């Protein structure tokens, strides 16, 4: 931002009176100005006597703005300079003071005890008979505004009844008749194009002397928020640059989140801490910055469904703009589904870390450290494919084959499917791998419904699809445990699942919960409770969703009433009281 500092140094030395700082919301326009003017005031190298910062956010009248100029002023010159300036101004307004001797007397009484500016700002409206003379006092206050530095911020957020024409007229008067240096800060793209933008443009040439566009780089704004030694700073920086995050407020929210989680994640290996930081940046950006091509709900779905490796082996699939955008981001940042996503989303939507649920996830991750090691090996294998143009096909296929032979039990379906797809494209026989994988992962594959296109869309290999269909045919009889796990893992269900769950009673759900099923928290919170407040396109489905939700919640409340410990569990883990 050196160029902005140089521009304002020149502005204060020149005859120019009005400067404009433009830029998108959150990029640090006000942050820059506050830092700059604070430094100049501290260094005492400004010739003006006072500084006023006025946010126009919600201001509805010019009189309010004028009143704020004097009331928000803080001295930036010596008391002697301020006193001299006021005495000079009193001379010019002597006619008014002679008509209001009680103000003049009050001034004289306090003149020797306290700096004029501070006293009058605090006490002007408390002088007796203020109700009768409030307009005169306001005019007197405004008459004292001379030789100020004034910053008007948030022009685009002003109240509807206050016009840009009025504000520009006031700025012109302050600059020309009152010898003030005025800075106007706003986001030009957010001005109403039919009125505000036209009014600003019509006064721009007459009033504005200098226009500056503040468009810092992501790295520059990162420096305002993160220290160089911040944990996982390299991962955060890479993600911020890839996503083009310049909004300082969003960067601060990312930092606050990572700070809130950091001491709870310190037992995890570095690779998992990196994974958390990366997903924190991705989800924060999606939550706080609206992207019409990739809405937050769509981002959550993509993160849950797709590994970046699947995009490398599936280039021919027709994609929506959102899918295309996500595939590029996922490929560049090597994104895969993460167990941290639910915790990050909970934090974004509720403002706190669910410590009990996070502790359970951390315990699971520590137990699955060897799975994480396989994921890193698989990422390394795909990097051979994506990060060079060398003739190294044998090296790439050999790396994938080694992982499939040694660690097939530790691969998720998405990663396995991507690996066999690319191997088959290069003419390799993957039938043995498919047989072994479906045998090893038979229990988890039961939850996939081959008639559900959403489930099967992730699987391109026809032989793998057939094997999954066979497994499904073997396990047609539904039970709560399988259905709940399917919904939690796949974030989806079919008509058969909904019909089955809606046929159950509160006691059915309670009996199942009390039976201590594996991964109960995940199956209830990410599975059965999904139907709470879920909307449907038709009345029949809506009634079923509401029945499922009611019975699950009532089952949890029954369990909560059994003892104090269960009351705590139900409230803290499931958010049910």
Residue extents of the structural domains in the chain: 2-213, 218-367, 480-577
Among 309-313, 410-414, 542-546, the range scoring the smallest mean pLDDT is 309-313
pTM reported for the whole predicted model: 0.59
Q: Which one, of 141, 152, 145, lies nearest residue 182 by Cα?
A: 152
Angle at which helix 233-243 crosses helix 321-333, to 10 degrees, equals: 150
Task: Say if residue 492's pLDDT is above 90.
Answer: no
Task: Say if residue 477's pLDDT is above 70.
Answer: no
The model's confidence at residue 317, banded by pLDDT at 50, 70 and 90, is low
Q: What is residue 207's predicted lDDT score, i.e. its pLDDT? A: 95
271 against 81, higher pLDDT: 271
- Cα–Cα distance measured from residue 457 to residue 313, given in angstroms and rounded to the nearest whole number: 14
DSSP H helix total and E strand total for the chain: 32, 6
The model's confidence at residue 175, banded by pLDDT at 50, 70 and 90, is very high
Question: What share of the chain has pLDDT > 90, as a percent?
Answer: 45
Q: What is residue 166's predicted lDDT score, i.e. its pLDDT? A: 95
Q: What is residue 307's predicted lDDT score, i.e. its pLDDT? A: 74
Task: Say if residue 136's pLDDT is above 60.
Answer: no
Mean pLDDT, rounded, of the chain: 84
The model's confidence at residue 133, banded by pLDDT at 50, 70 and 90, is very low
Q: In which element (H, E) is residue 116 found?
A: helix 116-123
Question: Taking residues 198-208, what's their average pLDDT?
Answer: 92
Q: What is residue 113's predicted lDDT score, i.e. its pLDDT? A: 37
Q: Report the top-level CATH class of 2-213.
A: alpha beta
The model's confidence at residue 474, banded by pLDDT at 50, 70 and 90, is low
pLDDT in tens, 85-112: 666 665 555 454 555 554 555 544 444 3
Q: What is residue 118's predicted lDDT score, i.e. its pLDDT? A: 45
What is the per-residue DSSP string for 228-274? TTSTTHHHHHHHHHHHT---HHHHHHHHHHHHHHHHHHTTS-HHHHH
Beta bridge mates, 185: 21
Q: What is residue 550's predicted lDDT score, i.e. its pLDDT? A: 92
CB atoms within 10 A of CB 195: 13
């Amino acid at each position: 931002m050196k160029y902005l500092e140089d521009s304002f140094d020149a502005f204060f030395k020149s005859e120019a009176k009005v400067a404009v700082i433009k830029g998108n919301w959150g990029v640090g326009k006000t942050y820059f100005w506050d830092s700059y003017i604070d430094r100049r005031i501290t260094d005492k190298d400004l010739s003006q006597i006072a500084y006023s910062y006025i946010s126009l956010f919600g201001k509805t009248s010019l009189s309010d703005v004028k009143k704020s100029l004097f009331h928000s002023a803080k001295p930036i010159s010596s008391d002697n300079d301020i006193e001299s300036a006021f005495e000079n101004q009193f001379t010019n307004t002597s006619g008014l003071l002679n008509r209001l001797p009680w103000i003049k007397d009050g001034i004289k009484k306090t003149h020797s005890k306290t700096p004029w500016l501070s006293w009058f700002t605090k006490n002007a409206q408390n002088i007796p008979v203020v109700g009768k003379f409030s307009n005169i006092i306001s005019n007197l206050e405004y008459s004292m505004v001379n030789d100020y530095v004034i910053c008007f911020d948030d022009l685009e957020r002003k109240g509807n009844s206050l016009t840009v024409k009025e504000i520009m007229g006031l700025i012109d008067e302050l600059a020309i008749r009152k010898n003030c240096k005025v800075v106007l800060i706003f986001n030009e793209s957010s001005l109403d194009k039919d009125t505000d933008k036209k009014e600003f443009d019509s006064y721009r040439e007459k009033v504005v002397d200098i226009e500056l566009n503040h468009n810092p780089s992501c790295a520059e704004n990162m420096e305002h928020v993160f220290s160089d030694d911040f944990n996982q700073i390299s991962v955060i920086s890479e993600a911020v640059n890839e996503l083009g995050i310049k909004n300082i407020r969003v960067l601060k929210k990312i930092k606050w989140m990572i700070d809130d989680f950091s001491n709870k994640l310190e037992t995890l290996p570095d690779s998992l801490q990196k994974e958390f930081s990366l997903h924190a940046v991705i989800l924060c950006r999606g939550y706080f910055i609206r992207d019409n091509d990739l809405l937050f709900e769509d981002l959550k779905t993509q993160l849950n469904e797709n590994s970046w490796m699947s995009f490398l082996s599936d280039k021919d699939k027709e994609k929506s703009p959102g899918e295309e955008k996500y595939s590029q981001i996922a490929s560049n940042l090597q994104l895969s589904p993460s167990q941290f996503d639910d915790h990050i989303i909970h934090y974004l939507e509720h403002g706190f870390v669910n410590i009990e649920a996070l502790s359970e996830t951390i315990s699971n991750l520590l137990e699955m450290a060897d799975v994480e090691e396989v994921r890193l090996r698989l990422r390394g294998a795909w990097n051979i494919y994506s990060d060079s143009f060398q003739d190294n096909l044998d090296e790439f296929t050999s790396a994938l084959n080694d992982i499939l032979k040694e660690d097939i039990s530790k691969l998720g379906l998405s990663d396995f499917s991507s690996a066999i797809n690319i191997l088959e494209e290069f003419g390799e026989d993957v039938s043995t791998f498919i047989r072994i994988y479906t045998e090893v992962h038979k229990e988890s594959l039961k939850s996939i419904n081959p008639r559900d296109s959403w489930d099967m869309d992730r699987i391109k290999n026809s032989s793998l699809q057939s094997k999954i269909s066979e497994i499904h045919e073997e396990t047609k009889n539904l039970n709560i445990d399988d259905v709940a796990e399917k919904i939690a893992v796949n974030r989806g269900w079919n008509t058969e699942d909904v019909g089955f769950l809606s046929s159950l009673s509160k006691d059915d759900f309670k009996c199942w919960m009390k039976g201590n099923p594996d991964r109960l928290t995940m199956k209830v919170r990410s599975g059965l409770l999904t139907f709470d407040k879920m909307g449907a396109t038709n009345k029949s489905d809506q009634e079923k969703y509401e029945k499922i939700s009611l019975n699950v919640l009532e089952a949890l409340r029954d369990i909560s009433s059994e003892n104090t410990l269960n009351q705590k569990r139900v409230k803290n883990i499931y958010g049910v009281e």
